Structure 1
Amino acid sequence: MIYLDHAATTPLAPEAWTAMRPWLEPGGGYGNPASAHAAGRQALAAVEAARAQVAALVGAQPEEIVWTSGATESNNLAIKGAVEFHARGRAHVITSRIEHRCVLDTCRWLEGARNVRVTYLQPDRLGRIEPQQVIDALSPETVLVSLMWANNEIGNLTDIPALAPQLRERGVMLHVDAAQAAGKVAIDLCAVPVDLLSLSAHKLGGPKGVGALFVRRRPRARVAPLLHGGGHEWGMRSGTLATHQVVGMGAAFASLPVDFSERTTHLRERLWQRLAMLPGVQRNGDARQAAPHILNLSFDGVEGESLRAALFDVAVSSGAACSSATAEPSYVLRALGRNDELANASLRFSFGRTTCEADIDAAAARVEHEVLRLRALSPLTN
Structure 2
Amino acid sequence: MDSPAQLMREWPPGYGGVERVAHALASEWGATVFSFDAQSRSADELDALPVSYPRVVLPASPPLGRLLLPLPSRALWSLLLSRRPLYGHLPSPGVLLVLLLARLLHPRRPVFAHWHCFVAPEPGSKNRLFAAYQWLALRVVPHLTKVITTSPVLAKELIRCGCQPARVAVLPCCLNPEQEKALLELPSRSAKAMPLRVLFIGRLDSYKRLDWLLEALALLKEPWSLAVVGDGPRRRAFEELTTTLFGASSAVTFLGRLDEAEKLAELALADVLVLPSDRSTEAFGIVQLEAMAAGIPSLAFQNKRSGMGWVGQLSGLPWSQQPEELSLVLHQLATSPALRKALSLEARDRYLNLFARKVWLQVLDSLFS
- TM superposition score category, shorter chain reference: under 0.3
Higher relative contact order (CA 8 A, sep 6+): 1
Instruction: Give the alignment's TM-score, normalised by structure 2.
Output: 0.23
Flag the structure with higher helix content: 2
Instruction: Give the alignment's TM-score, normalised by structure 1.
Output: 0.23
